[in-house]
């Protein structure tokens, strides 16, 4: 059984891309077959995995979804890039912005990505989708095909406030398009554990959402080393294997794997 997890938050800069790549590579290290999908027009996931010119790639998620919209045949391995740390990537780039606009007039516009997932899912144990920081059509497509949504939240007051909108959207997609959709959990990122502030945010989250949504036991600490990896094209496990962020993502991977049992 392949599990599909969308990593989403309509606010940018909360660690979505870092979480997608490090959780994906963490799962691969545990022997799982993993596909990462870059569903963000900025192509940050693609660039952070070492494909530094996303806009010059010939086949990307936009190309594939465009083909599916006009009923073109799509081969399972088409456009998929392989990363040295054992994961596959369906890259994303700026063309997704144009696709977002044209999806509005497409029949079954919420389920184009789902059609793609149906083609590739048999080859993988996990598919992780890095969503763009908005609740637009491409993100709704990700929600429509996901089993669950993992929400990274920066340990600060405003991003926590913005969660209500996201949770509402998830509820709406669950009711109208994808009844199996669940929230995997809220993951606190960029936590500076030396301050009380992070503790306050954490308890505020538990108070507001803890009864309805799981809040991951593992938190991702703030770290300069983690900020450097996007320039290196490798995961935190390779860049700083003994550091606290690698250890936090390793624990998160185990938490996610325990769910899949």
Instruction: Tell me the CATH architecture of domain 3-260.
Output: 3-Layer(aba) Sandwich (3.40)
pLDDT in tens, 119-169: 999 999 999 999 999 889 999 999 999 999 999 998 776 667 778 889 999
Higher pLDDT, 190 or 2: 2
pLDDT given for residue 206 in this prediction: 85
Q: Which of 128, 104, 124, 103 is nearest to 23 (CA)?
A: 128
Q: Rounded to the nearest 5°, which phi and psi values hold at 161? A: -60, -40
Q: Pick left, alpha or beta for residue 156 (phi over 0 → left; psi -120 to 50 → alpha; otherwise beta).
A: beta
pLDDT given for residue 158 in this prediction: 65
pLDDT band for position 37 (50/70/90)?
very high
Going from N- to C-terminal start, the domains of the chain cover 3-260
> How many other C-beta atoms are found inside a 10 Å radius of the C-beta of residue 98?
12
pLDDT band for position 212 (50/70/90)?
confident
pLDDT given for residue 3 in this prediction: 97
pLDDT given for residue 165 in this prediction: 87
Residue 204: is its pLDDT beyond 90?
no
Q: How far apart are CA 87 and CA 21, in angstroms?
A: 9
**Tokens 């545990």 appear where?**
30
pLDDT in tens, 48-81: 999 989 999 999 999 999 999 999 999 999 999 9
Q: What is the mean pLDDT of the chain?
A: 91
The distance of Cα 197 from the centroid of its chain, to the nearest Å, equals: 26
pLDDT in tens, 85-130: 999 999 999 999 999 989 988 889 999 999 999 999 999 999 999 9
pTM value?
Answer: 0.94
Residue pair 49/21 in contact (Cβ under 8 Å)? The answer is yes
pLDDT band for position 209 (50/70/90)?
confident
Q: How far apart are CA 62 and CA 229, in angstroms?
A: 26
Token pair for residue 77?
């391995």
pLDDT given for residue 159 in this prediction: 65
């Amino acid at each position: 059984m392949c599990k599909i997890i969308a990593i989403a938050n309509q606010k940018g800069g909360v660690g979505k891309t870092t979480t997608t790549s490090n959780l994906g590579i963490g799962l691969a290290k545990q022997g799982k077959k993993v596909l990462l999908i870059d569903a963000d027009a900025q192509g940050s996931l693609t660039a952070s995995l070492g494909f530094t010119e996303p806009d010059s790639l010939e086949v990307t998620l936009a190309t594939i979804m465009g083909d599916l919209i006009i009923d073109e045949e799509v081969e399972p391995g088409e456009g998929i890039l392989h990363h040295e740390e054992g994961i596959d990537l369906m890259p994303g780039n700026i063309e997704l912005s144009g696709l977002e606009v044209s999806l509005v007039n497409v029949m079954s516009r919420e389920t184009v990505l789902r059609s793609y997932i149906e083609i590739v899912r048999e080859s993988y144990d996990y598919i992780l989708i890095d969503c763009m920081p908005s609740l637009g059509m491409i993100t709704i497509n990700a929600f429509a095909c996901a089993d669950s949504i993992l929400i990274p939240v920066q340990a600060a007051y405003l991003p926590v406030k913005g969660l209500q909108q996201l949770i509402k959207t998830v509820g709406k997609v669950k009711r109208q398009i994808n009844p199996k959709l669940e929230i995997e959990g809220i993951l606190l990122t960029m936590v500076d554990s030396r301050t009380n502030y992070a503790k306050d945010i954490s308890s505020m989250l538990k108070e507001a959402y803890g009864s309805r949504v799981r809040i991951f036991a593992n938190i991702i600490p703030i770290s300069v080393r983690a900020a450097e990896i996007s320039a290196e094209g490798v995961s935190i496990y390779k860049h700083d294997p003994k550091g606290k962020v690698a250890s936090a993502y390793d624990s998160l991977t185990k938490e996610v794997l325990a769910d899949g049992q």
